[in-house]
Amino acid sequence: MKTRVGIIGAGPAGLLLAHLLSSKGIDVVVLERRSRAHCESRVRAGVLEQGTADTLAEAGVGERMRAEGQVHHGIELRFGGEGHRIAFEELVPGRAITVYGQQEVVKDLIAANLANGVDLRFEVEDVAVGSLADPYLTFGTERLDCDFIAGCDGFHGVSRESVPAADLAVYEKTYPFAWLGILADVAPSAPELIYSASERGFSLHSMRSDSVSRFYLQVPPDTRPEDWTHEAIWAELKARHETVPGFTLATGPITQVDVAAMRSFVAEPMRFGRLFLAGDAAHIVPPTGAKGLNLAVADVRVLARALGEYYRTGSEALLDAYSAACLSRVWRAQHFSWWMTTLLHRFEGDPYDRRLQQAHLAYVAGSRAQATALAENYTGLPYAD
């Protein structure tokens, strides 16, 4: 088998790359070890930056997102018994976020790729990178020769593991807590996301639709989903959110509970010979800043443009610049995610640090300059291209 670009992974990064390249007439094959049903049902991030929403719309896969996604023009920071709205429409005019589940993005991209005749292969076993210089992939008993390999297979994928350790610089940070994620069949209790920093710990009120809500609780890092009963979950969510007079958190059937580790990770560079890493294969951010999916889309924009230029003109200039171009945005997002995490979570330790945190929250809520910095990073910085 032969193709121009072999893509490992059918998450948002791999699927968007496949769609962008196939739309340019560049042949691709996508290999995914999980089933299509699993990829289309895996609930993950649901906050799309302005640039991400625009990219999907420009690529012709934004129709359902525009119809069903919820456009938000602000978020609330809740602390000290008060709510403080960060008003995007005033601070960064023309920019907003769209709440639209990652699994919905995946559904749209799979449908678009199949409509374009892209070779998507699910439930593929034993994918391996055969070579970085003369690239090919193996899976099962087959071999796929290609000009380039795009590793879009996530943090635990095979693409980054195929790189010699001596060629990688790895930067990591692990936070001393995790997030308990809750999905519930209940209408949202507020029109926008609420980031609550309480004395009991951080909590987030989010949503997936007009009838489905998503919540997160800061919990110890060794927490298991079965450690929490549904009654205990609702009691803790109410305790952390009902800190503003007149606010009542609606409750309903809980349909899913999971635990997400809080960590940061960056592997540099993001190119090795003819192998390019994108998305979670190269970097992980704590979910506080809602940057994971958005960084994957930003990587893919750069890579699709570079590959398009190569096949159009033969120039490798943009391919050579890929890693540096992506990493400049990755590290900005790393800083913002770290800043949001340290701003809002309860850290055990020195009371002095706690008072500093409270003072910083008050500064963000009261300073237009600080609120603008939050708004422009949260809605997404402009793309370099």
Active site residues: 72, 195, 287, 291, 378
Q: In sequence order, which ranges of the chain are alpha helices (DSSP H)?
A: 12-23, 36-41, 50-58, 63-68, 88-91, 102-115, 158-161, 230-241, 292-313, 317-344, 351-366, 368-379
**Distant-in-sequence, close-in-space partners of 85: CB < 8 Å, separation ≥ 6:** 74, 75, 76, 192
**Inter-residue contact 184 to 253 (CB < 8 Å):** yes
Residue 375, helix vs strand vs coil = helix
**Inter-residue contact 83 to 76 (CB < 8 Å):** yes
Give CA 60 to chain center in angstroms.
Answer: 21
The first and second tokens of residue 286, run together, are 């704590």
Parallel/antiparallel/unpaired status of strands 194-198 and 201-207: antiparallel
DSSP readout, 102-146?
A: HHHHHHHHHHHHHHTT-EEE-S----EEEETTTTEEEETTEEEEE
**Inter-residue contact 196 to 78 (CB < 8 Å):** yes
Residue 155, helix vs strand vs coil = coil
CA-to-CA distance for 189 and 147, rounded, in angstroms?
51
